[in-house]
Structure 1
Amino acid sequence: TTALDVTIQAQVLRMMDTLKKEYGTSMIMITHDFGVVAKTCDKVAVVYAGEIIESGTVQDIFNDDKHHPYTKGLFDSLPNMNENAARLKPIAGLMPDPMDLPEGCKFHTRCPYCTDRCRTELPNDIDFDGHMIKCHLFEKEV
């Protein structure tokens, strides 16, 4: 949907939703456009380096205050119309080489909350009533 103007994008999304309802099917949407996700999807999976690091309903992802640091970074990098920010806040660092992924949490090289454990151990899925976050930061809250 990135290359479409807003009017065409809305028409395409409406058509996809109509077809989904008409045929009683599901749809997988792969996008970085949180606006499209909020309007179109029921469930969300946030993927980093080929791994689902957070998942839940649209309400979980958009309304909950608990997020994987990558998801938080995605939200923080969006422009905020209510603030006079001169610059956007990008996520620090670069994506790892998919052929040479780091040990432990795949996001640890870019994570502002990284600990020694993040560098060596893969985090488990932490379940908050169906909202899953894969991050050592949340293990104490369960």
Structure 2
Amino acid sequence: MSIQKILAISGKPGLYELKIQTRTGFVAESLLDGKKITVGLRSNVSLLSEIAVYTYTEEVRLSEVLKAIATKENDGPALSHKEDEAKIRTYFREILPEFDEDRVYTSDIKKILNWYNILQPKGFVTLEALSKEEKEETPAAE
């Protein structure tokens, strides 16, 4: 499984899997309850595969951050996004020590932890799945 077709839709809780593209938008299925919704083209939608986290030197792809969490937790669940701010920041510093503390807010970290904990039981963020996805994204040298 891959996070290539996983969406975060502004104003809607949880994550969604892109199912079908239509003339006026697309159909997505909630990863929380399995309900299908139609999403118009005007909706603010983010593909998880396009999200990156700021560090002091570069931007790190979300898939790499999720892989680091999976490595730390041995493919198990991450720290809850409902923990206190200090605990969340300390935990994230263990995952991505060089993250830019001025540009990455606690709310961003909570969102990443929540997303990981939604995707992990469904098999989207196992080390195997994320490693396979990185190989598919990296073009072969010609």
TM-score, structure 1 normalization: 0.27
TM-score, structure 2 normalization: 0.27
- Structure with the bigger RCO (C-alpha within 8 Å, sep 6+) is 2
Q: Please identify which structure carries the higher strand content.
A: 2
Larger Rg: 1
